[in-house]
Every structure is written in structure tokens, then in C-alpha cells.
Amino acid sequence: MLRLGRRQLHTIFSREIIKPSSPTPSHLKTYNLSQLDQFVPHVYTPLILFYPNNKTCTLTADDKARELKKSLSQSLTRYYPFAGRLHTPTATYVDCNDEGVVFVEAKNDTHLSKFQRMINEQDDDTFHQLFADAMVWQNTPHATSLVGVQLTHFACGGLAVAVSMAHKIGDACNVSSYVSHWASVARYGSTDHKHVLPLNPRFIQSPDSSNFSPPLEMFSRVNQTCDNHVTRTFVFPNSKLNDLKNKVLAEAGSAAFINKPTRVEVLISLMYKTLVATTTKNSGLVTTMDARNSFVPKVPQTTVGNFVLLMMVVTSDPSLSSVVSEIKKKKMERNNVRSFEQVLQNNELSMLGNEELEPVADKPFYCSSVCSFPYNKVDFGWGKPAGASISLRSSTLTGFVLMDTPNGDGIEAHVTLEKQDMEMFQKYKEMLSFCQN
């Protein structure tokens, strides 16, 4: 039981282990992690989905919890490694032993809307309580588990569904695919229903390797706590992002690589310019790119594993157009990488460009965009969420994560910085001029 402040009461009242509804076949008992999977630390990506009380839904709170557990069990049969275990945090394979996923239920005496405001204003304790066993970036006493779920019931009847997924087994695309499949099973009651999303996961059989690839130095300390960090959310409507695109184009003139900048590219450039102007660090920006479409042939979006290319953006000119130009150049360099199987067989991670990050491993800002992933459409049977969140909160990384707004009319930037830097960042006039009023 946690008592936060003078009024908020948060109580955990149930804890279960949910196992797959059907046993994993013997020939699938070992799932080898790829070299790319080994390249990331064993930490947990935290996704929260907030659901207001849907007055038209006839399901009780107990009904909703029961349906979540049943459908979770059914969906784990298809995503069988998620119910397995790592023997150690540095293991190179998953033992697909069907030990299951922890499912925690909690009650919170706050209204959901108030709680959502609180997690953008208060410390990490308010955020942590939403996740099973505090599986938020850092390792936990249950560090060999791969997935954890917590359902929190709020006083108003609203709910929060929090999913923690080990980054070693998958990236944000996998989190999205799995949760979307799980929700569709819950909504229709069966994995065989004709309307269940056909998100058949693809598991690549990586070569058996006993050689552990240590995580990139930049990320190896991501599981250490940092009390000096704060997280804030800034919202940028599409209308303002269109204005920002026009500003970038006007600034660039006839410069190369600026044709048709995306809203994500221009927002990254604005955020980076703000960081350079308001913080004491200026060593570059590490940004990510989903590599599934870069390989030849393309890797299906439902492929499980880490398919994230890391790109280091460093420019002596932090102007909007210069940063956008640099991002586009890096993307072009990462396109048309040869087949994923060849990269794995030849241990050619250098082909992906990740080696360039090592010289500045502990210095740059980090940014990731999960825009276009349908987190805001995840419907377990009682409607779409009123909000979703993935952030760098509780990691030692500083930077930002970009997500679509719930209504699709803009982008949310979840920014994590040291406290003194955030004081200056959130006052930067150019950045605020493109924010929602």
C-alpha cells in the first residue's frame, strides 16, 4: 500500500501469474536473441494506456479484469517467448518455458483525469506505482521476466493498463503489435474470431551464439536511477507543425535534402535547437529509425526483435533546416541495408552505423518517435484510450519521445531532462510558439 501526499491512496490487491492458454511445442522451447537484441540492455519499455469510465459499457470492473486475463493468456500462445524467462540478464536466449506474465491489480482513490495531470507534475513515485513490480526501464528483482502487466482502477471508474516489455526481446513496434493483438482478442473473445487483428508474429531463428554482445555504452547505465531528472509533456497541434514545416522550408531555401520534411523531422529539429539553446550539453542527438523497411528484402512489421537503427546527429549549426538536412542524410545512409540474415550471419553490426555512437556514448541527448504506432486505438472492449504514454522517465537518458496525440491532431513530446535544464527548456519562446495554447 502506498500513500502519496495527504490524500492519494494506492493499494495493490491482487497479483497473479498468467500463463499461455496452450503449451509451447517442444521444438520452440529455445528462442535465440539476435545480435541486435543483445546490443540493448535488459530494461523494460513502459507503456501506459488510460481509459475513462465508458458509461455505455455494461462490463463491471471485475468483468474487465477477467477478460484482460483470459485474452492475455490466449495471446501469449501466439507470442510464446513473452511468457518465457531469461536465465540471467545477460543470457543470449529465452527459455520458452511458459512460466507466464505477472498481472497486478491496484486501486487508486484519485480520479483518472487528476492522476494524468499529476504524473506530468510530480516525481517518479507517482509514475512507478502504475507498473507491475516497478518494471520501468531499470531491472527489478524479477529481471528474468520479459513482460509485466498492471491494471489500475480509479475512483471515477477509469482504468490504466500498464505494460512493461523487456527491450531485449523487442522494440516499440513489437509493443504496439502485441498490445493491439491482445486487445482485439479481448474485444472479440477468441483468437479465432474473424475480426481479430491478423498480427501473426514472425520470429527469426537467429544463429545460436554463446558470445554475448555487450550493450552500447550509452545505454548500459540506463537502468540506474537518477533523482535529478524530471519529465514534462508538450503538445504540438498539426496546424502549428505545418507552420513549422513552412519555417524550415523558408529557412532552407534551395538547400539539398530539405524537400518535403515530415512533421516528425521538423519537430525533432525544433526540440534539438531548444536543447542546445537552453542546456549545458551540446554533443549531439541520438535518434532512432525503424529498420524493418530498410533491409532488402524488407522485414515484415510483425517481426519480433530489435530492428532499430541509431543515428547520431551532430551539427555545428543548430538551425532548424540544418538539423532536418542532417536527419535526412542519415536516413539515406541507412536505406537499402542488405538482408537481415546476412547481417546476423556475418556479425556485421557496423553496417547499421551503430559504431559511430561509441565515441560520445554518455553525452548525447536521445530521441525516439513512436508516431504512427496505433497506441491510441487499443480497444479492449470498452473504447479507445484517452491517452497513452511512453517516456524516458526513470532512465538515466535525457531527451524526448514523440507520440501521436489521442485525437490524432498533433504530436506529444514527452521530455526528460535534468531539473535545472528543464527550467530553461520549458520557457524557450520559439518552442512554446508552436505548442498548444
**Annotated catalytic sites, by residue?**
167, 379
Task: Report the distance separating Cα 356 and Cα 379, nearest Å.
Answer: 40
Report how far residue 275's alpha carbon sits from residue 271's, in angstroms, rounded to the nearest whole number. 6
Burial of 122 (0-12, 13-18, 19+ CB in 10 A): middle
Distance between CA atoms of residues 337 and 174, nearest Å:
21
- One-letter amino acid for residue 435 of the chain: C
Beta carbons of 126 and 4 less than 8 angstroms apart? yes
Are the CB atoms for 118 and 106 separated by under 8 Å?
no
What would the grid cell of residue 194 be?
474473424
CB burial of 170-182 (b: ≥16 within 10 Å; e: otherwise) equals bbbbbbbbbbbbb
Distance CA 61, CA 288 (A): 38
Phi, psi of 67, rounded to the nearest 5 degrees: -65, -35
Crossing angle between the packed helical segments 320-334 and 238-252, to the nearest 10 degrees = 90
CA atoms of 109 and 122, how far apart (whole Å) = 17
